[in-house]
A = this chain, B = another copy of it.
Amino acid sequence: MYTTEKDSMEKILARKMSETKDVSSVVEKIIQRVRTDGDQALFQLVEEIDQVKLDALAVSAAEKKAALEATSPELMAVFNQAKGNILAFHKKQVRQGFVATEDSGVVMGQRVIPLVCVGVYVPGGTAAYPSTVLMDVLPAKIAGVKKIVMITPTDNEGKVPDAILAAAEVAGVDEIYKVGGAHGVAALAYGTETIPKVDKIVGPGNIYVATAKRMVYGEVDIDMIAGPSDVLIVADHTGNPRWIAADLLAQAEHDKLAQAILVTTEEKLIEAVETELEKQLVNLPRKEIAAASLENNGKIILVKDLNEAIEVANQIAPEHLELSVAEPFALLGKVENAGSVFLGHHTPEVLGDYFAGPNHTLPTEGTARFYSPLSVDDFIKKSSYLYYPEEALRAVGSAVELFAKTEELDGHARSMSFRMVDDSVK
């Protein structure tokens, strides 16, 4: 199922969730309907698209209570343990504003201000992903966001999975609405009678959600345009084929479009991993999805040494990079493009997906070239400020005037010159 040659880098690099014209025009119409008809459009769209007839958009207090009661104490404990780890890691991302003062009396600086209201998209579909709730909500809490609104599609009975509601409670979500897809994104971007307009929308979703996020970008902020998930594992002679195969499959089981790549210096390892993949696939519950992913996008690349392996990784810019090598820290500094790096044999990506602390919302499809993991930074904005005393203004007035005149903006020049001749502050 894998090719073992370093043949098709271009194919790998060209990966892109294709956003067809059809999707765009469907999403455009959905957004327009929500903007025009608000809640009414949402009820209709949920019925048309999700085939669910909702009584109310908001998850009720009774539903939340029932979900908490239905969640095992063991699972609640795990959620809380994960919450502790995620909070501890993300608190290190908190940054302060700064100030610079000069002898002339000039004061300038930058303030850091939390966003007021944020929308978190939690996908529904084949399974429930409470980890997404924790990973997307907790950094916003740390940032100081006042209101966190979650939206998520329901099952056929109009119910949100218990684990999602329980995780939302653990994370501290303020409001939850039963709407997903492009219509959910539109509701967050423009607001309806029931759902508040937010400052930013975060969270993963399918092609309709991603397209809607692109379309509303600028009206509100978004975290990123997320595509299918991917992993790249770099392995040397110490690589354990059973573990490597398990990690490739953990990625592949997400989605037929997911991508799992092994880059190794060991020809022997390739055969062993392929054997393990066959073996482990047999009784994997999501084997159809995993097999399709490996078939479509899986790849094993043989390289001459670990430097070449890292070069390949940097070119591909994986979302997750596992360094299953004897000395993983020796490679870390050479990694230029990767959302999150997992060092050594006992650090599978899965640890980061759920539990360890770093965020699992990461740049996909090679966008680690320029995007970052979701962080506290995503939930703040900066604002700069400047103060000049009169003497300081006078000292630079003619320089600023010359600059303004170079740009042929005489009004700008006057804003300075008037203050140079006219020193009356009434």
CA distance A345 to B48 in the complex (A): 58
Cross-chain contact B218 with A214 (CB below 8 angstroms): yes
CA distance A415 to B249 in the complex (A): 9
Cross-chain contact A407 with B128 (CB below 8 angstroms): yes
Contact with B along A338-374 (1 / 0, CB 8 A): 1111111111111111111111000000011111110
Tell me, yes or no, whether A57 is within 8 Å of chain B by CB.
Answer: no
CA distance A386 to B247 in the complex (A): 16
Tell me, yes or no, whether A93 is within 8 Å of chain B by CB.
Answer: yes
Contact with B along A23-61 (1 / 0, CB 8 A): 000000000000000000000000000000000000000
CB-defined contacts of A221 to chain B, threshold 8 Å? 367, 370-371
Contact with B along A236-253 (1 / 0, CB 8 A): 011110110011011011
Contact with B along A130-145 (1 / 0, CB 8 A): 1100000000000000
| 8 Å CB interface, A58-89 against B | 74-75, 77-78, 81-82, 88-89
Least Cβ distance of A245 to chain B in Å?
A: 9
Least Cβ distance of A403 to chain B in Å?
A: 4
Tell me, yes or no, whether A127 is within 8 Å of chain B by CB.
Answer: yes
Tell me, yes or no, whether A108 is within 8 Å of chain B by CB.
Answer: yes
Tell me, yes or no, whether A390 is within 8 Å of chain B by CB.
Answer: yes
Tell me, yes or no, whether A275 is within 8 Å of chain B by CB.
Answer: no
Residue among B199, B250, B388, B419 making CB contact with A415, cutoff 8 Å: B250
Tell me, yes or no, whether A425 is within 8 Å of chain B by CB.
Answer: yes
Least Cβ distance of A113 to chain B in Å?
A: 6
Residue among B106, B249, B425 making CB contact with A240, cutoff 8 Å: B425
Least Cβ distance of A133 to chain B in Å?
A: 11
Least Cβ distance of A141 to chain B in Å?
A: 17
CA distance A416 to B355 in the complex (A): 12
Contact with B along A313-327 (1 / 0, CB 8 A): 000000000000000
Q: Interface size for chain A: under 10, 10 to 19, 20 to 34, or 35 or more residues?
A: 35 or more
Residue among B240, B372, B402, B416 making CB contact with A348, cutoff 8 Å: B416
For the residues of A in contact with B, the DSSP-based class is mixed
Tell me, yes or no, whether A129 is within 8 Å of chain B by CB.
Answer: yes
Given known A106-B356, A116-B336, contact A350–B217 (CB-CB < 8 A) = no
Given known A253-B411, A426-B240, contact A341–B286 (CB-CB < 8 A) = no
Cross-chain contact B411 with A250 (CB below 8 angstroms): yes
CB-defined contacts of A126 to chain B, threshold 8 Å? 408
Given known A340-B383, A387-B347, contact A199–B246 (CB-CB < 8 A) = no
| 8 Å CB interface, A384-426 against B | 384-390, 392-393, 396, 399-400, 402-404, 406-416, 418-419, 422, 424-426
Given known A199-B370, A351-B400, A392-B346, contact A386–B358 (CB-CB < 8 A) = yes
What are 26 A-to-B residue pairs whose CB atoms are below 8 Å? A108-B357, A116-B336, A130-B406, A163-B406, A214-B214, A214-B218, A220-B370, A240-B422, A240-B424, A243-B422, A246-B418, A247-B415, A250-B412, A250-B414, A340-B385, A342-B386, A344-B388, A347-B387, A348-B416, A351-B388, A351-B416, A352-B384, A369-B381, A370-B381, A372-B382, A377-B377
Residues of chain A at the chain B interface (Cβ within 8 Å) = 74-75, 77-78, 81-82, 88-89, 92-93, 95, 98, 100, 106-111, 113, 115-116, 126-131, 163, 199-200, 214, 217-218, 220-221, 224-225, 237-240, 242-243, 246-247, 249-250, 252-254, 280, 284-286, 290, 328-329, 332, 335-359, 367-373, 375, 377, 381-390, 392-393, 396, 399-400, 402-404, 406-416, 418-419, 422, 424-426
